[in-house]
Structure 1
Amino acid sequence: MDFDKYLEGQSMQRPPLFESDSFIYWKNRFETYVKSKDLDLWHVITNGDFQPIIQNPETKLDEVAPLEKQSDELKKRLAKNNEAKMVIYNALPRKEYERIFMCNTTKEIWKTLSITHQGNSQVKDNKIDLLVQQYEQFVISEDESIDSAFAKFNTIITSLKALDEGYSSKNYVRKFLRALHPKWRAKVAAIEESKDLTLLSLDELIGNLKVYEMIIKKDSKIVKAKVERKSLALKAKNESSDEECSTSGSEDEEYAMAIRDFKKFFKRRGRFVRQPRNDKKTLQRSRDDKNGKNDRKCFRCGDPNHLIRECPKLPKDKNQRAFNRRPPTGVYR
């Protein structure tokens, strides 16, 4: 039978359907259901069947009464045995029914189910140790919501209660406050100052934290919107600056290309530019030197580095010396 369909058609007359994967959850629900119907039924499940015992008026001793000697009140009480067994049968699927078919009493059925799906005392102790460890190490991450954190926390403490192990409500409150992320530190301090933690229930604490969580989310959205607007404005400014830099760079590049073209033009046309007279003589002398035409030298000493009029050696002939001092008119060396 599908569990969802079972729940849809389930009424208060039907016990919760057995869940092997969530035995503790089913066990708690089943116990509550049976107690809501008849406390005698739960007594039969946990303590055993009622016995047909009556007191012998003569001996004042308890003895098993045969059916014909049982009173109507006793018969109704004995009927609770079968009624309790039927309640468990109605909650079990066929596979589980085959497991407990050989049990004679409701107490045996209940014990068999507990040992099978919950374990014996050793297994129970191991589960308790594991749950206690989870309880002590319980922490709430930064992005985790209060509802999600409380759901995990509640699963732990509920499982501990089902195993007859638990803490006080005061301990639950303090543990949940300590497990909150540091961003809740201001709120935790405010609660500890304004509330008496010995009287504060876990449900009241969760409600208080959820209200504060809504305020934090609202403020976070406002801040996020402001950051996005600033980011868009900065992006637009950067794009505008990039366009200006690109335009300026393009103009500089065009100017540089024009200068290069201008220099190339005059480099090609340089031979047609009129040169100064002195530069022209220097250029001609340089060309003559390269072509080997500069063979002039001093006629007195033979030094090619100066002419005769610049010769430091004096002539031996006096007439020649006078000739050098006063050259004839129209004669140039």
Structure 2
Amino acid sequence: MDSDKYLEGQSMQRPPLFESDHFIYWKNRFETYVKAKDLDLWHIILNGDFLPLAKNEVTQILEVVPFEEQSDDLKKKLAKNNEAKMVLYNALPKKEYERIFMCKTAKDIWQSLLITHQGNGQVNDNKINLIVQQYEQFTILEEESIYSGFARFNTIITSLKALDEGFSSKNYVLKFLRALHPKWRAKVTAIEESKDLSSLALDELIGNLKVHEVVMEKDSEIYKGKKERIKSITLKAKKESSDDETLTSESDDKEYAMAVRNFKKFFRRKGKFVRQPREERKSLRQRDEKKGKSDRKCFRCGDPSHLIGDCPKTSRNKAQKAFIGGS
């Protein structure tokens, strides 16, 4: 049967279609459907078929009644055995039916489905231990919404309840509060002080937290808006300060450049800073050297062929001669 064409929600005549990947989910829905349809059918599925028994009017002992002697009420009661099997058949796809077609009673079919998809006692215990571990380690992330966290938490406790009907739910509220992120600590403390956690329903707690979550989101938006405005003002102030420094720097550079130009102009008028060609500078330097050599002469006798230190004429003053010699 194509699941897309299976309109189970439009009629109570068809049970929920079997889902092997979500067996616990299907199991709970199927149980509810059968109980709503006929409690006798669920009794047959759990405990087995009604037997063709009736009390002997003489001995008051239950005895098997032959079909020919069965009353109409007994026949209607026995007909429920087949009706319970038909309910299961209508919920199962062909592939699943091939596994249970050898089963004689509705109870056998149901037990086969439980063992195949839920496991035996040992497997069931292992699953319970695994889910209990998930329950104990459950935490809600900082950015996770209350709705998302509750959906995950509800999946865990639903699975636990399906595998172990005796699992206590008295700690659900306290566990969920302890699983909240530290940013909820103030709210958690307020709830613990104002509420009786032993009588507080989990749905009531979730509703209370959702209201507070909306308030927190609005406060966060207001804070972010203020932060963005402060950031914008700071950036604008930094930009204006940078522009002022740039203008000041450019003004100082212009003044410095103008001073350098005026300094060069002053010395250029005095004949300085006039760059001459290399050959001209070399010839001038050689001319100065020759001129310097030709102008040199002895300060004592005036002979240009030697200096005063080599002058053959004796000095009149011995102190002067000693000074000249030392020099």
What's the TM-score once normalised by structure 2's chain length? 0.82
SS at match of 2:63: strand
Q: What corresponds to 2:318 in structure 1?
A: 313
Aligned residue pairs: how many? 299
Shift of the 2–252 alpha-carbon distance from structure 1 to 2, 3 Å rule, reads: farther
Looking at structure 1, the residues matched to 17 and 317 of structure 2 have their Cα atoms a distance apart, in angstroms, of 138
Superposition map of 1:271-290 within 5 A: 271=271
CA 187–296 in structure 1, closer or farther in 2 if over 3 Å, else same: same
- How many angstroms does 1:28 deviate by? 0.6
C-alpha offsets along residues 87-135 of structure 1, whole Å, 9 cap, x if unaligned?
1111111211122111111111111111111112121111111100000
In structure 2, the CA distance between the partners of 1:270 and 1:142, relative to structure 1 (3 Å rule), is same
Is residue 160–residue 166 contact of structure 1 (8 Å, CA) maintained in 2? no
Partner of 1:224: 224
Within 2, Cα distance between the matches of 1:13 and 1:193? 51
Alignment of 1:206-245 (within 5 A): 206-245=206-245
Question: 2:183 is matched with which residue?
Answer: 183
State the partner residue of 2:298.
Answer: 296
**Higher mean displacement: 94-103 or 164-173:** 164-173
How far apart, in 1, do the equivalents of 2:207 and 2:29 lie?
25
Aligned to 1:282: none
Instruction: Say whether the 8 Å CA contact 1:14–1:90 is kept in structure 2.
Output: yes
Structure 1 unaligned spans of 5+ = 274-286, 316-333
On the 8 A contact 2:81/2:106 being kept in 1, the answer is yes
Q: What is the match of residue 64 of structure 2?
A: 64
SS in 2 for 1:170: coil
Q: Which residue of 2 aligns with 1:53?
A: 53
Q: 1:25-60: CA deviations, max 9, x gaps?
A: 010111111111211111111111111112334454
The one-letter amino acid paired with 2:297 is: D
Q: Structure 1 pair 11/270, CA: closer, same or farther in 2 (3 Å)?
A: farther
Q: Is the 1:288–1:294 contact (alpha carbons within 8 Å) kept by the matching residues of 2?
A: no
Q: CA deviation at 1:222?
A: 0.9
What residue number does 2:81 align with? 81
Could you tell me the percent identity over the aligned residues? Answer: 62
Q: Quick one: distance in 1 between partners of 2:58 and 2:166?
A: 50
What is the one-letter code of the residue matched to 1:33? Answer: Y
C-alpha distance in 1 between matches for 2:24 and 2:259: 91
Q: 1:7 to 1:239 in 2, by over 3 A?
A: farther
Give the residue type in structure 2 aligned to 1:152: R
Contact 1:53–1:63, Cα closer than 8 Å, also in 2: yes
What CA deviation, in whole Å up to 9, does each residue of 1:186-220 have, x standing for no partner? 11111111111111011111111111111111111
Q: Name the amino acid aligned to 1:226.
A: K
CA contact (8 A) 1:138 1:179 kept: yes
Partners of 1:53 and 1:84 in 2: how far apart?
19
In 1, the alpha carbon distance for the partners of 2:165 and 2:138 equals: 17
CA distance in 2, matches of 1:170, 1:157: 12
Is residue 34–residue 41 contact of structure 1 (8 Å, CA) maintained in 2? Answer: yes
Structure with larger Rg: 1
CA shift at 1:304, angstroms? 4.6
Is the CA contact (8 Å cut-off) linking 2:8 and 2:15 kept in structure 1?
A: no
CA distance in 2, matches of 1:290, 1:168: 122
CA root-mean-square deviation: 2.8
Partners of 2:155 and 2:247 lie apart in 1 by 66
SS of match in other structure, 1:19: coil
Instruction: After TM superposition, give the deviation of residue 136 of structure 1 in Å.
Output: 0.1
DSSP-derived class of the 1:90 partner: helix
Q: Deviations over 1:7-36 (max 9, x none)?
A: 575322221111111000010111111111
Cα drift, residue 267 of structure 1: 5.0
Alpha-carbon spacing, 1:27–1:8, altered in 2? closer, same or farther (3 Å): closer
**What's the TM-score, normalizing by structure 1?**
0.81
Alignment of 1:1-333 (within 5 A): 1-3=1-3, 5-7=5-7, 10-165=10-165, 167-271=167-271, 291-292=292-293, 293-298=295-300, 303-304=308-309, 312-313=317-318
- Decide whether the 8 Å contact of 2:49 with 2:106 is kept in 1: yes
Shift of 1:260: 3.5
Change in Cα spacing, 1:314 to 1:289, as seen in structure 2 (3 Å) is farther
Q: 2:88 & 2:43 partners in 1: Cα distance?
A: 13
Say whether the 8 Å CA contact 1:298–1:311 is kept in structure 2.
Answer: no
Give the stretch that moved more between structures: 15-24 or 233-242: 233-242
- What code does the residue aligned with 1:201 have? A
AA at the equivalent of 1:10: Q
Aligned residue for 2:271, secondary structure, equals: helix
